[in-house]
């Protein structure tokens, strides 16, 4: 389908709302069985997925940076990882029907606060086709219906993944509205989707700044934001030189195109001469472009002079900015809270007081000590997978897994009480 009308999108919303009532009541064992069966079906059809993915790569390789293209690629290992992620989701505790709290009132009323699904979740994403499978597994486990709108870059890959999972849902007689794909590259579909507040309960956008801004500005539906990953690694003066080099380079270069990649390195002035040369050497071996302030350039004049825009930039590529910290952890925290995006920030330090101050005062969804920001991932957190990393404070923050895709209701049990 190339062209799609507002009425077409409306029908998708109606089907999703109807299906959500069925999905919300599925037994835990059945949900787990379906998710594992979907993983098996994806594995059986691995070649089909890779063929469709190659179409996406061929259509987009001239338009995307190498790091962004890396996010699009699905090879055999990555399809395996998608399937393993689904199996991991099946092993998680069911988040639905849990008694979060309970209490009794003096008049004899018994009140329970019980977890329930959100209802219908809309996910709008760009170049990562694995999002389709992750979101499908997480939404089924949490009892939600799902509408997916993938970007043009991953259109063929995502469509195939959704088709294969829907084959599994059909086998178990799950309503077809439980998992739907908006089958078009037409950008107007996003606008139509954002108006469906009667049928969609939450929108989760994953992509670049322009997509996120559009969703935030245009949506009539509550948005769980996944803003830029302007992540920092702060190398504090007490840090171990070898640990600092190993962790910092991994934080930037393991996969520079993901949202958990470090984009700005902060380093105390006192340790520039002892720590930085080794880090710079490793970054250059990885063909990483380095931009730094005047103090950093004293170590290597070939480094490009950084400006204020660099501190605001999510490169998503083999580029990093480095800033000198003159006044210790408080200055580093102030810089992060001003320039960061509230995603993930790390301190490398052996000073307990500095670490405590950093972890308590950096205003981000994920704060880390002596480890790589690339661990900002729901799978690495033991969540099986994630729909995204929320930089919001309302409803969910950090990795959005099954527990974050729930709400609650109050069950009030009486025995004939009336209010005077």
pLDDT digit string, tens, across residues 104-130: 999 999 999 999 999 999 999 988 899
Burial class (CB in 10 A: 0-12, 13-18, 19+), 285: exposed
Would you say residue 365 has pLDDT above 70? yes
Residues in CB range of 221: below 8 A, 6 or more apart? 122, 194, 196, 197, 200, 201, 202, 203
pLDDT at 211 over 90: no
Mean pLDDT of the chain: 94
- Give the CATH fold of the 231-375 domain: Aldehyde Dehydrogenase; Chain A, domain 2 (3.40.309)
Rg (CA), the chain: 23
Give the CB-side neighbour count of residue 260, counting CA atoms within 13 A.
Answer: 24
Output the pLDDT for position 117. Answer: 98
Common-topology check for domains 6-224+400-413 and 231-375: no
Long-range contacts: 390-399, Cβ < 8 Å, 24+?
390/224, 390/225, 390/226, 390/365, 391/225, 391/226, 391/227, 391/341, 391/342, 391/343, 391/364, 391/365, 392/223, 392/224, 392/225, 395/202, 395/222, 395/224, 396/224, 397/365, 398/365, 398/366, 399/366
Coil vs helix vs strand at 404 = helix
Per-residue confidence (pLDDT) for residue 382, from 0 to 100: 85
pLDDT (mean) for 229-257: 97
- Mean pLDDT within 2-20: 92
For residue 1, pLDDT over 80 is answered with no
Whether the pLDDT of residue 328 is over 90: the answer is yes
What pLDDT does residue 206 have? 85
Average pLDDT over residues 238-256: 97
Position 148 scores a pLDDT of 97
Mean pLDDT of 26-48: 98
Q: How confident is the model at residue 277 (pLDDT cuts 50, 70, 90)?
A: very high
pLDDT of residue 372: 98
Homologous superfamily (CATH) of 6-224+400-413 is: Aldehyde Dehydrogenase; Chain A, domain 1 (3.40.605.10)
CA distance 170 to 238: 58
The pTM score is 0.87
Which of the four pLDDT bands, split at 50, 70 and 90, describes residue 2?
low
Q: Classify 172 as helix, strand or coil.
A: coil
190 contacts: CB under 8 Å, gap ≥ 6: 124, 149, 214, 215
DSSP character at residue 413: E
Domains of the chain: which residue ranges? 6-224+400-413, 231-375
């Amino acid at each position: 389908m190339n062209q799609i009308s507002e009425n077409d999108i409306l029908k998708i919303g109606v089907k999703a709302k109807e299906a959500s009532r069925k999905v919300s009541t599925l037994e835990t064992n059945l949900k787990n069985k379906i998710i594992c069966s979907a993983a098996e079906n994806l594995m059986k059809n691995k070649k089909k997925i890779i063929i469709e993915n190659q179409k996406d790569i061929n259509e987009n390789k001239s338009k995307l940076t190498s790091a962004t293209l890396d996010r699009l690629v699905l090879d055999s290992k990555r399809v395996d990882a998608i399937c393993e992620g689904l199996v991991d989701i099946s092993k998680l505790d069911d988040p639905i029907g849990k008694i979060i709290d309970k209490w009794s009132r003096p008049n004899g009323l018994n009140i329970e606060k019980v977890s329930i699904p959100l209802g219908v979740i809309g996910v709008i994403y760009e170049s990562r086709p694995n999002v389709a499978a992750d979101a499908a597994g997480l939404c089924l486990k949490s009892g939600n219906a799902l509408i997916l709108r993938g970007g043009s870059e991953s259109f063929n890959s995502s469509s195939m993944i959704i088709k294969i999972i829907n084959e599994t849902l059909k086998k178990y007689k799950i309503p077809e509205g439980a998992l739907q794909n908006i089958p078009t590259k037409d950008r107007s579909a996003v606008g139509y989707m954002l108006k469906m507040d009667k049928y969609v309960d939450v929108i989760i956008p994953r992509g670049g700044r322009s997509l996120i801004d559009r969703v935030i500005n245009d949506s009539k539906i509550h948005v769980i934001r996944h803003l830029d990953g302007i992540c920092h690694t702060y190398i504090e003066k007490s840090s171990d030189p070898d640990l600092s080099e190993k962790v910092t380079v991994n934080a930037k270069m393991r996969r520079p195109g993901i949202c958990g990649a470090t984009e700005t390195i902060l380093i105390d002035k006192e340790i520039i001469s002892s720590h930085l040369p080794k880090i710079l050497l490793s970054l250059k071996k990885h063909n990483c472009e380095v931009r730094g302030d005047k103090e950093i350039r004293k170590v290597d004049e070939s480094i490009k002079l950084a400006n204020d825009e660099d501190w605001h930039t999510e490169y998503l590529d083999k580029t990093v900015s480095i800033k000198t910290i003159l006044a210790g952890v408080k200055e580093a925290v102030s810089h992060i809270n001003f320039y960061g995006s509230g995603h993930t920030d790390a301190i490398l330090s052996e000073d307990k007081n500095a670490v405590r101050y950093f972890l308590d005062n950096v205003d981000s969804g994920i704060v880390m000590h002596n480890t790589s920001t690339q661990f900002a991932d729901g799978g690495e957190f033991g969540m099986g997978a994630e729909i995204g990393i929320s930089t919001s404070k309302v409803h969910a923050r950090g990795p959005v897994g099954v527990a974050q895709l729930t709400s609650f209701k109050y069950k009030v049990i009486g025995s004939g009480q009336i209010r005077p």
